[in-house]
A and B are shown apart, each in its own frame.
Chain A
Amino acid sequence: MQRINNRVILPFITAFLGGVWVFIGLSQYGWYTDGKPGSGFFPTITGALLLLMSILAVISESKLETPKFWIFHFHPIIMAVGVVLLAMLIGFFPALTLYVFGWLKWYEKYNLKTSLLATVLTITGMYGVFAMWLRVPFPVGFFIEGILR
């Protein structure tokens, strides 16, 4: 069986989105209301054009070579999702500290001194600018919130 070229996945997705935009635009928001362009006017035109261009892309892309993806491409995504989940539990800065140190020490295999130094500099810098200077209220996490209550 011939393998499907993964290059067509993206235009398939954009074609689907274009179709959804046209359908919702016409059925829910309206093309023209009271003789004036309605809420669906602009999105419908955009969606229709995207659908058309995506179909053209599906045809042209299927002839090209398939690019390769590796599992390591997804490691930063998995780690960042982990940081978000951990931030909800133990707070933003502890989660980021663990992430930066963990990545450097165990993933990149830097020595303890370099890992610690880079972590301290990064987190202190970020804390100083965002939390202290710009006063962005970062979440402290369920655990700390629970203790504070």
Chain B
Amino acid sequence: MAAALVWVVATLVFALLHLLPGDPVLVILGAEGGAQAPSPAQVAAVRHALGLDQALSTQYARWITRLARLDLGVSLDDATPVTRDILERLPTSLELICAAVAMALLGGIVLGVTAARFHGSWTDAALSGLLAGGLSFPVFVVGTLMLLVFGVLLRWFPVGAYVAFTEDPLGYLRQLTLPAVTLAFNLLGVVGRIARGSILEVLHQDYVRTARSKGLGEARVLSRHVLRTALIPIVTVVGVQFGILIGGTVLVEYIFNWPGISTLLFTAIQRRDYPMVQGIVLVTSALFILINLLVDLSYAVLDPRVRYEGRP
């Protein structure tokens, strides 16, 4: 099943990419802004060396057979293995996404619970407004503002100077902050609003009334009984968002110069680096499928009523 899905994705990506106009050979030969254009002999020689002069069906067959051996091929640009580049850049994106999701989850739940707890009050109105703001501000506006205020004016954070955690842990965290907060901002709005809504719903359930009538304290009712049930829609939405964020962090990675998978994909598309684009899309699709599976499994943990039956 999974293999078939991967094959469908692989074929679709291949077809779409090769339908796209633009010629990687011209890009490689310096269409960036050269004052001399390459000669037809050069174009032909480089096209041949890269195997791009073969029939599309041959190229497709080669790509699929390699894929069957888990070989994503090499970059048209510099012949580095696609897998190596992806393995280098994917973790960087995941770090950013995890940090953002953690912030959004924590902040969103705290704000959502508070808003629900004081439902109908001024606090609720103010928090709901803030969450709506998080939801509606486009990421490039938030990002650019962050960059201007905290990077240029206050100089609290360096601007787009990535250092690995292993090299300089503090420096790493410093430059993770702005992109992670920017990325979290939107998700915070989503999580917060869903948390508020679902807690309000759960608060009126019979078992909550029972818990209260048992004499449990409000804090314990909220954390033990309400929040746990209310978490299910939050986990669902975070799971979906997490999947979308992989490869969907393009703007944030671009603005903050974050060396992740999205910037790699962006460059690869601009340069029409077919194997690289195909590889990235395949890997991120596979991750998306995997995350959705994990989300489904987590329901069982969160809600005792959901239990998957074991196969005989």
The answer to whether A and B belong to the same complex is no
Interface residues of A (CB under 8 A from B): none
Interface residues of B (CB under 8 A from A): none
